[in-house]
Amino acid sequence: MTGEPANDQQQGLSDTDIEPKIDQLLSQMTLDEKLGQMTMVENNSIEPAQVAEFFIGSVLSGGGGNPTPNTPENWRAMVCAFQQAALETRLAIPLVYGVDAVHGHNNVKGAVIFPHNIGLGASRDADLIERIGRVTARELLATSVHWTFAPSVSVPQDLRWGRTYEGYSADCQLVADLGAALVRGLSDRCSDADSRVLACAKHFVADGAARWRESPIAEGAPQQGSTAPPQDSAAPPAVELSPGQWRIDQGDAPIDEASLRQTHLPPYQAAIAAGALTVMASYSSWNDEKLHAHRYLLSDLLKGELGFDGLIVTDWMAINQLDPDYQQCVVQALNAGIDMVMVPYDFRCFISALKAAVGQGDVAQERVDDAVRRILRVKLALGLFEQPISDASLLLSLGCAAHRQVAREAVRKSLVLLKNDKQSLPLSRDVPRLLLAGRAADDIGLQCGGWSISWQGEAGATTSGTTILEGIRAAVSDSIDIDYSADGQFAGDTRATVGIAVLHEEPYAEGFGDRADLALSSDEIDLLHRVRQRCDQLIVLLIAGRPRIITEQLPMMDALVVAWLPGTEADGLADVLFGDFSFTGKLPFSWPRSMEQIPLAALRASGEAPLWKCGYGLTS
């Protein structure tokens, strides 16, 4: 797969061929056609015929917004039906279909799912991340999806945040380098299909600086689920919150502008320079002012100072949080600089509110024209007018062996070896027996985490791939007797020289992953003790979206490997465990000794070193 340099796209935004086309289209468009272009609707809340009727500019699948049954072919048919409807409108302006392909085309069963960003941050390999972008783009285009809401270029400062795994690192420069690499990969043209994918830098800006709050956000706020209610029904029911949830996500970043510019802005500058044509605003606030209504940050800084000529899109139903009066929500967001609104359910209500706001002069016609100009510019730069539906032959490559090899490489390079007493690793293929324990050792869903087939992710055989157990069995063939127990309850007096305990976090996404305590659970600790009693050397594999508090349990471990959330190709772990490849991963975050060293500011103020610093990682 080859492609033109991604920054050619950014230069293409001012292409003398594009602007006259935009002028011509704008001169022909009615107000209804313009407002439709500014509207993004969730796929279960609209029919293809309504796309044509309301001139809709974008349709999306939220996390888990999949066709039934969930197959690549059905995905393509669903997307193409919406696109065909858009092409039947008077001006035949194509829509752009969007998804959260945040670690591969992760909603589609059978697609390759890569390690989450925290694991890729541990690899520190920009070339690898660029190749991951190319593979992801190819699998997206197989289903004729042209827009992914990635990369997340957050710089997380508090490990309690449920989005920590969406960040590459707490190191701003590393985030900038790897985010830009993914943008370049996503933006490359496929060599055998002259199509490309839109990257989207998110969530603008400083969401990683949000502070812990003692009470969760209002129950009506965290409504980003994927399954829409009937179109004219009431809003989804309130989400039942557990202690520790929604305490950081969508919160406030009380930092000064110098900190915002020094730590959180550079990854966006790098992503835009690499060719990102879209930016998603954050649910969060900066000094108690919601980003979706922040004219200074969206219009003055992003569009003005940084010269961003692409489009700014909202997050899921995010403008609803701006004001009790929905029309005021629309007015505030559009006047702040939002160009496209992810409604996502009641698109009629949004279009009506925006039309009324324009008629009353609350949103100027010039602001509408600017937003539509940006949307058309992005679609023209993307090549959608020339090829609105991608080459169907790309379906043959979705989930193919070559793509899985890239993911397997990513798993190998993401692993971080934190402890290796007695040279416990690499494992010898000469040991007669190996004990393996832990549910996550044989569970694709657990090793993929959130944003995997469904929004929150779930345990079980959710998609195709290789589990840790399957990878180890393939690596040793019949030379080693592998005794596996999900709960570590081995029969009789079973004992072995080597035991492997696989610990894991349950899957989560967004604010549902906010946690007050990152210590190991009682079940995880019990598993460690059971396996420790059965082996001479205990190797621990940690499946997690962030560092955990393990200080008390560390002495019982002879070796500790952090595998993060590796995705579908866990045979990459076996490659390194048995010494076919060396450990190369380095921590993308400092590893705290205790909860008192969280957030990062507390670690810095403590005067005590973390358990391991950011950048630490053994090679043997």
- Reference 338, options 61, 98, 38; nearest CA is 38
Beta-bridge partner residues of 40: 58, 342
Four-point Cα dihedral 387, 390, 392, 397, nearest 10: 140
Mean pLDDT within 37-51:
98
Q: Which helix (H) or strand (E) holds 535?
A: strand 535-543
Give the whole-angstrom CA distance, residue 123 versus residue 511. 26
Of the candidates 65, 64, 248, 278, the residue with the CA atom closest to the CA atom of residue 153: 278
Type of residue found at 278 = T
Q: What is the pLDDT of residue 397?
A: 96
Query: If you search the block for the tokens 């569970």, which residue do you land on?
Result: 443
- Give the number of residues written for the chain: 620
Return the beta strands (E) in 396-458 as ranges.
Answer: 416-420, 433-437
Residue 273 pLDDT greater than 90, yes or no: yes
In our burial notation (b when 16+ CB lie closer than 10 A, e otherwise), range 485-524 reads bbebebeeeeebebbbbbbbbbbbbbbbbbbeebbbeeeb
278 or 12, which is more confident? 278
Residue 403 and residue 135 in contact, taking contact as beta carbons nearer than 8 Å? yes
Check 315, 505, 514, 558 and give the catalytic one: 315
- 157 neighbors 601 (Cβ within 8 angstroms): yes
Q: Which of 51-55, 56-60, 232-236, 393-397 has the lowest mean pLDDT?
A: 232-236
Q: Is the pLDDT of residue 277 over 70?
A: yes
Terminal C-alpha separation, the chain? 34
pLDDT tens for 387-407 read: 999 999 999 999 999 999 999
Report d(CA 578, CA 574) in Å as an integer: 6
Asked if 116 and 407 count as a contact pair (C-beta separation under 8 A), the reply is: no
Reduced to 3 states (helix: H, G, I; strand: E, B; else coil), residue 221 is: coil
3 state SS of 300? helix
In tens, the pLDDT along 416-438 reads: 999 999 999 999 998 999 999 99
Q: Say how far apart CA 349 and CA 337 lie, in whole Å.
A: 20
Instruction: Decide if 338 contacts 281 (C-beta within 8 A).
Output: yes
Mean pLDDT over each residue of the chain, to the nearest integer: 93
- Note the pLDDT of residue 240: 62
Q: Cα dist. 447→86, 121, 164, 347 in Å?
A: 38, 17, 16, 36
Task: Quote the CA–CA distance of 531 and 533 in Å, as a whole number.
Answer: 5
**In contact, 280 and 200? CB cutoff 8 Å:** yes
Strand partners, 500: 436, 539
For the question of residue 493 being annotated catalytic, the response is: no
Q: What is the pLDDT of residues 69-120, one digit of tens each?
A: 999 999 999 999 999 999 999 999 999 999 999 999 999 999 999 999 999 9
Mean pLDDT, residues 552-575 taken together: 98
Instruction: Supply 507's token pair.
Output: 């899957």
Distance separating alpha carbons of residues 178 and 130, to the nearest angstrom: 8
**Is omega for the bond preceding 254 within 30 degrees of 0, making it cis?**
no
pLDDT at residue number 335: 98
Are the CB atoms for 100 and 344 separated by under 8 Å? Answer: no
* Residue 505 in this model has a pLDDT that exceeds 50: yes
Instruction: Identify whether the C-beta of residue 422 lies closer than 8 Å to the C-beta of residue 133.
Output: no
| pLDDT (0 to 100) of residue 50 | 98
In the predicted model, is pLDDT for residue 192 greater than 90?
Answer: no
218's tokens: 């209002």
Burial bucket for residue 477 (CB in 10 Å: 0-12, 13-18, 19+): exposed
Beta bridge partners of 282: none
DSSP element (H, E) containing 356? helix 347-359
What value does the mean pLDDT take over residues 558-578? 98
Mean pLDDT score, 176-198: 84
The residues spanned by each domain of the chain are: 7-397, 415-606
Closest listed residue to residue 29, CA positions, set 65, 55, 64: 55
- pLDDT band with cut points at 50, 70 and 90 for residue 473: very high
pLDDT at 6 over 60: no
pLDDT at 479: 83
When pLDDT is averaged across residues 584-595 and rounded to a whole number, the result is 98
Q: What is the CATH number of domain 7-397?
A: 3.20.20.300
Sheet containing strand 289-290, edge to edge, reads 252-253, 285-286, 289-290
Residues 311 and 277 sit within 8 Å (Cβ to Cβ) = yes
- Mean pLDDT value of segment 433-455: 98
Q: Residue 204 forms beta bridges with which residues?
A: 281
User: Which pLDDT score is estimated for 10?
Assistant: 41
Bond from prior residue into 151 cis (ω within 30 degrees of 0): yes
Q: Which overall architecture, per CATH, does domain 415-606 show? A: 3-Layer(aba) Sandwich (3.40)
Active-site residue identified among 130, 158, 443, 510: 510
Residue 612: what pLDDT?
Answer: 98
Per residue in 329-363, pLDDT tens?
999 999 999 999 999 999 999 999 999 999 999 99
Residues 527 and 501 sit within 8 Å (Cβ to Cβ): yes
d(CA 408, CA 38): 39
Q: Is the pTM of this model over 0.75?
A: yes
Predicted confidence at residue 123, as pLDDT, reads 98
Known catalytic residue: 325? no
Mean pLDDT is lowest, of 150-159, 239-248, 297-306, for: 239-248
Percent over 90 (pLDDT), the chain: 90
pLDDT of residue 243: 65
What's the token pair of residue 345?
Answer: 């359910």
Q: Element (H or E) spanning 81, and its range?
A: helix 72-87
Phi, psi of 93 (to 5 degrees): -80, 120
